[in-house]
């Protein structure tokens, strides 16, 4: 209780106006880019509930794989919520009415993805958890019709698939997928499984859904370190095959499913603009993270209790894989309001989705 009060207090200090949010709830699915603590009690190296994680977050480490807030935290603020969307692992009672965060570090579309790291909550498991919450909503909203009505106004965001590459396809010592499937076949397979999960979500009330494309994972510091200081363009082109299929997935949902309002967020388009205007955004360091990692162990996360760089807002990356709060904020702005570039979202931005 005391912690929740403190968070609200700090939120107000940050200048947020407390008013009715634009939508009644916000549900979040995905991987470490959106996880807000769901892995804290799992046995896994995909865990970030220790310093220096959270050094810039009100209240310190939470399990977010970041120094501060992530893109979905900013989106919750832009939508007008007066609190962060609680993680499924600790959500209680009526808190579910404003939405739940199911995202899990290391998770993928494929169930086996991320096993090399340890425990994680795969997308199919996240969807099972979501269905359990929809059942509970009946208790608060009365009947199925009122739950359906309520959920049809809510925003859903899903960013997943990156681990199906970096913690599956590109780890041939652990996973056979790169021997079984060509890059094109693998992208098709992932999209098929993704589409199945999205259909279940749709059947359980998700109508306004933002599908967030994958980062250029060939440009994360860990890969750059192995590629003579430049992005690994072959990784980017393989991952690009998955992204390229998302706009038509969005089209087919919007065309074939009654009331569906899906959108695609082109994260690479936002990244390309940042890359071209680094100085305007205040970034000075692009190829190494802000905190210290131990590459000799293959560990990509910050060393516990290590002292991170002084000025986090000059860095694109926080650790060897995950963006800083500064980069998350730019992603969130582009997703929410794409009026500066029509390439950021398709067919509308999250703000447009909220208003529909």
Backbone angles phi, psi at 227, to 5 degrees: -120, 40
Nearer to ligand NAG, 8 or 285 (CB): 285
Shortest distance (Å) from residue 230 CB to ligand NAG: 8
Q: By CB under 6 A, tell whether 287 contacts ligand NAG.
A: no
Q: Which of 195, 227, 254, 286 binds ligand NAG (CB under 6 A)?
A: 227
Name the residue with tokens 């699915």: 29
Q: Is 124 a catalytic residue?
A: no
Beta bridge partners of 158: 29, 211
Tokens of 117: 């790291």
Shortest distance (Å) from residue 250 CB to ligand NAG: 10
Shortest distance (Å) from residue 37 CB to ligand NAG: 25
Distance CA 233, CA 227 (A): 9
Q: What angle do CA 225, 321, 191 make, to 5 degrees?
A: 110
Tokens of 147: 């739950």
Q: By CB under 6 A, tell whether 296 contacts ligand NAG.
A: yes
Q: By CB under 6 A, tell whether 115 contacts ligand NAG.
A: no
Q: Which of 319, 320, 338, 349 is catalytic?
A: 319
Cβ of 246: how many Cβ atoms within 10 Å?
Answer: 22
Q: By CB under 6 A, tell whether 235 contacts ligand NAG.
A: yes
Tokens of 271: 């990244």
In 3D, which of 293, 201, 330, 188 has the Cα closest to residue 246?
188
In 3D, which of 59, 41, 149 has the Cα closest to residue 105?
41
Q: By CB under 6 A, tell whether 234 contacts ligand NAG.
A: yes
Shortest distance (Å) from residue 88 CB to ligand NAG: 26
Q: Which of 12, 59, 128, 142 binds ligand NAG (CB under 6 A)?
A: 142
Element at 132 (helix H, strand E):
helix 123-141
Shortest distance (Å) from residue 137 CB to ligand NAG: 12
Name the residue with tokens 């700090």: 10
Question: How many residues in the shown chain lie near ligand NAG by CB under 6 A?
Answer: 31
Tokens of 302: 């910050």
Catalytic site residues?
32, 319, 322
- Please report, as ranges, the residues that interact with ligand NAG according to CB under 6 A: 142-143, 145-146, 170, 226-228, 232, 234-235, 243-244, 246-247, 266, 268-269, 272, 282, 294, 296-297, 303, 311, 313-314, 337, 339-340, 343
């Amino acid at each position: 209780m005391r912690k929740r009060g403190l968070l609200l207090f700090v939120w107000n200090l940050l200048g947020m106006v407390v008013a009715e949010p634009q939508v009644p709830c916000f549900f979040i699915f995905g991987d470490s880019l959106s996880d807000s603590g769901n892995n804290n009690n799992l046995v896994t190296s995909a865990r970030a509930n220790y310093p220096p994680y959270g050094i810039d977050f009100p209240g310190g480490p939470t399990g977010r794989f970041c120094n501060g807030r992530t893109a979905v935290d900013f989106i919750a603020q832009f939508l007008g919520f007066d609190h962060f969307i609680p993680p499924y692992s600790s959500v209680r009672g009526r808190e579910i009415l404003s939405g739940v965060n199911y995202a899990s570090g290391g998770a993928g579309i494929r169930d086996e993805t991320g096993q090399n790291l340890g425990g994680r909550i795969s997308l199919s498991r996240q969807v099972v958890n979501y269905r359990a919450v929809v059942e509970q909503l009946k208790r608060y909203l009365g009947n199925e019709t009122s739950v359906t009505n309520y959920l049809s106004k809510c925003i859903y965001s899903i960013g997943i698939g990156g681990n199906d590459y970096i913690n599956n396809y590109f780890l041939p010592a652990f996973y056979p997928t790169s021997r079984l499937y060509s890059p094109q076949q693998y992208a098709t397979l992932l999209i098929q499984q993704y589409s199945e999960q999205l259909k279940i979500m749709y059947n359980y009330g998700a109508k306004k859904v933002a599908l967030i494309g994958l980062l250029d994972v060939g440009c994360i510091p860990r890969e750059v370190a192995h590629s003579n200081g430049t992005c690994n363009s072959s990784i980017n082109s393989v991952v690009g095959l998955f992204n390229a299929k998302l706009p038509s997935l969005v089209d087919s949902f919007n065309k074939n499913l009654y009331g569906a309002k899906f959108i695609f967020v082109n994260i690479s388009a936002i990244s390309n603009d940042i890359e071209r205007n680094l100085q305007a955004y205040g970034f000075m360091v692009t190829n190494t993270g802000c905190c210290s990692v131990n590459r000799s162990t293959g560990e990509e996360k910050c060393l516990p209790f290590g002292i991170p760089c002084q000025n986090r807002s000059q860095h694109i990356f926080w650790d060897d894989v995950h963006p800083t709060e500064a980069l998350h904020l730019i992603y969130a702005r582009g997703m929410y309001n794409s009026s500066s570039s029509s390439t950021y979202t398709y067919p509308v931005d999250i703000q447009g989705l909220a208003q529909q």
